Amino acid sequence: MTTIKVTMAAIKDYISEQLVRCLADHLQEQLPSFHRRTFERLIIPKLSALEFKQRVQLITDELHRVLPTNTRQRYRLITALLQSDTTTDRQSNESGITGWGTLPLCAVVGQHGQGAFKQSMDMLKTLTPHFSAEFDIRYFLLADQPKALNILSTWVQSSNYHVRRLVSEGTRPRLPWAMQLPQLIADPAPVLPLLTALRDDPEEYVRRSVANHLNDIAKDHPDLVANLAHDWLKDATPERQKLIRHACRTLIKQGHSNTLAAFGLNTQAFELTALKLKQPQIRLGETLDFYCKLRSTASTEQTLMIDYLLHFRKANGQQKPKVFKWKQITLAAGTTVELNRRHSIRSITTRRYYEGQQSLSLRINGQDTGWIDFELTC
């Protein structure tokens, strides 16, 4: 599956006038009391001035106003709005609502459905294959975590992989763009049985969510995730090994010793004999070319996880390191290896560059080694 990163500016355009009119089409068909012109008048003129979350909330508020107040009738109508097929390109159209269009429907359930707890969570279970209810399941976790987790525990065996993924993604303590879950940040133990049940899921989409969830946990409980890695790596399939490596990516970058030991990366029997740049000065947009030489000082073969750090100059003149993954190698006893790398220093929206001295260093099996400076001109 190809992942495409889009900016918030692009994402907000999915919550569009066209989507509002599509919603109105289906509401008019399903709800005799629906006043289409009022619904559109209260939403469409305001959209252009709003950002993504504000657009979703505006539509959510108006949907809540026009939908039946009776829970059973409300959820029957929401279900009737949906496309019957969840395997299409996820575009809302004359066949029904799906994809981005389900976000305000999920939000109506999350924000206003806690009085009918089980019915509402089941409604989110129905909605999630159309996009994801990962943001709105969190209202129920915040309201009554034990009750919500008990319901979610029955979903780990669902035949629908979107539902199984929701169990992991919806309970992530630090899910991006979403409300944090303070109880699970403080103590992730209640959700670990769910993640364990999903660790060998047949869908990589689900396993990837489990890995990202564990990476969230690692930010607050690094030793817990390291110990879990030791346990889960025993007789692990290649798929589970990949999951655990992804789950531990931040800890490995940080050089967390217990995590490195889980992967057999705690040996440091090597010597950096060279770290050199092709040229000591580059312009923004060019490539930083460098190489290093490593000599084994061990009497047996060893595995080395090699990362490099670029220490970028900040506005105050100080440097801040950014870790980049490089490669994992097996180094035979007493041998020397030469490694080459190219890194493009180009403008990106998430980083501002400042002219002047920058630096490069290596991190090998968690050990920081080597240092070399270079000049960047913009």
Is 159 contained in some domain?
Answer: no
Is 205 contained in some domain?
Answer: no
What pLDDT shows up at residue 265? 86
Quickly count: other Cβ atoms within 10 Å of residue 129's Cβ: 20
Per-residue pLDDT band for 89 (boundaries 50, 70, 90) equals: low
Per-residue pLDDT band for 88 (boundaries 50, 70, 90) equals: low
Is 333 contained in some domain?
Answer: yes
Is 225 contained in some domain?
Answer: no
Per-residue pLDDT band for 347 (boundaries 50, 70, 90) equals: confident
Flag the least confident range among 123-127, 300-304, 346-350.
Answer: 346-350
Nearest CA-CA partner of 278 in 197, 358, 341, 204? 341
For the cut 70, the answer to whether the pLDDT of residue 221 exceeds it is yes
What pLDDT shows up at residue 50? 96
Nearest CA-CA partner of 38 in 48, 27, 52, 29? 27
Q: What is the rounded average pLDDT of the residues 108-137?
A: 97
What pLDDT shows up at residue 139? 98
Number of domains in the chain: 2
Is 253 contained in some domain?
Answer: no
Question: What pTM was estimated for this model as a whole?
Answer: 0.82
Is 56 contained in some domain?
Answer: yes
Is 221 contained in some domain?
Answer: no
Per-residue pLDDT band for 4 (boundaries 50, 70, 90) equals: very low
The secondary structure of 90-155 as a DSSP string is: ---BTTBB-GGGHHHHHHHHHHH-GGGHHHHHHHHHHHGGGS--TTTTHHHHHH-HHHHHHHHTTT
What pLDDT shows up at residue 9? 52
Q: What is the CATH number of the domain that holds 297?
A: 2.60.40.10
Dist. CA 232–CA 174, nearest whole Å: 22
Nearest CA-CA partner of 164 in 120, 135, 204, 109? 204
Q: 76, 104, 133: which is the final residue of a domain?
A: 133
Per-residue pLDDT band for 90 (boundaries 50, 70, 90) equals: confident
Dist. CA 338–CA 245, nearest whole Å: 25
Q: What is the rounded average pLDDT of the residues 52-59?
A: 97
What pLDDT shows up at residue 1? 26
For the cut 90, the answer to whether the pLDDT of residue 264 exceeds it is no
pLDDT in tens, 303-327: 999 999 999 999 999 999 999 999 9
What pLDDT shows up at residue 10? 79
Cα angle value 342/348/350 (rounded, 5°): 120
Flag the least confident range among 37-41, 204-208, 266-270.
Answer: 266-270
Q: 133, 156, 190: which is the final residue of a domain?
A: 133
For the cut 60, the answer to whether the pLDDT of residue 6 exceeds it is no
Element (H, E) at 307: strand 302-313
Q: 133, 164, 184: which is the final residue of a domain?
A: 133
Nearest CA-CA partner of 148 in 120, 180, 127? 120
Flag the least confident range among 18-32, 54-68, 222-236, 263-277.
Answer: 263-277
What pLDDT shows up at residue 2? 27
Domain that holds residue 14: 1-133
For the cut 80, the answer to whether the pLDDT of residue 8 exceeds it is no
Give Cα 107 to chain centroid, integer Å.
20
What pLDDT shows up at residue 353? 94
Is 122 contained in some domain?
Answer: yes
